[in-house]
Amino acid sequence: MKIGTSAALLSALLVMPARSPATSQTVPLPAPAFHHLHLNSIDPEAAIGFYTRQFSTTSKTSWGGLPALKSPTNVLILFNKVATPPATVPQTAIWHFGWHAVDSRKSLETYKTRSEVKLLPLYTTDEGGSVFISSDTWPGAPGVLGLTKAEIAEAKAKGVQPARMSGFA
């Protein structure tokens, strides 16, 4: 069997829904989980200090000899010390991760009062329109985080309104 065929077969097996032998009905798979995430940092101690100040449920720890941030769900963020910061042009998501906030509006108001937090807007128009929470602009189709320029025009023409509930920032 060729490597490509083996990989395709393995991929198909991994995405096939589990079936209960007795009923032949689809059984939901358990929620995915992970143990840790590695982030590069020119100053791991400062990064950990920042996160523990911003997220009061986290704490400083170490794992495998690396400085780390521990979340209340026991997920760790491990910090690799590097000599240079990431390139900013073009932008990169490699030095990025998302943190779940139960109430995004309350969190936004809290972070607006913190001088060491730099809030970055989500842009909504070529003219410079922006929002801080994704649900304050036109919603994307299921599974899509945003709209193209043509899709925004279509949403406006159809009278689609922002949900203004939940969302990411």
Q: What is the pLDDT of residue 63?
A: 94
Which runs of consecutive H residues, i.e. helices, occur in the chain? 3-15, 44-54, 104-112, 149-158
Pairing of β 59-63 and β 66-70: antiparallel
Output helix, strand, coil percentages for the chain, rounded to the nearest 5. Answer: 25, 20, 55
pTM for this structure? Answer: 0.63
Q: What is the pLDDT of residue 160?
A: 86
CATH of 32-100, one of 3.50.50, 3.30.1490, 3.30.720, 1.10.405: 3.30.720
Digit-coded pLDDT (tens) for 4-43 = 433 333 333 334 444 445 555 678 877 767 788 888 899 9
Q: What is the pLDDT of residue 81?
A: 95
What phi, psi does 32 have (nearest 5°)?
-65, 150
Q: Which of 37-41, 137-141, 150-154 has the lowest mean pLDDT?
A: 137-141
The segment(s) of the chain belonging to CATH 3.30.720 are: 32-100
**Burial tier of 142 (Cβ tally within 10 Å: 0-12, 13-18, 19+):** exposed
Task: Express as a percent the part of the chain with pLDDT over 70.
Answer: 79
Q: Which of 1-5, 60-64, 76-80 has the lowest mean pLDDT?
A: 1-5
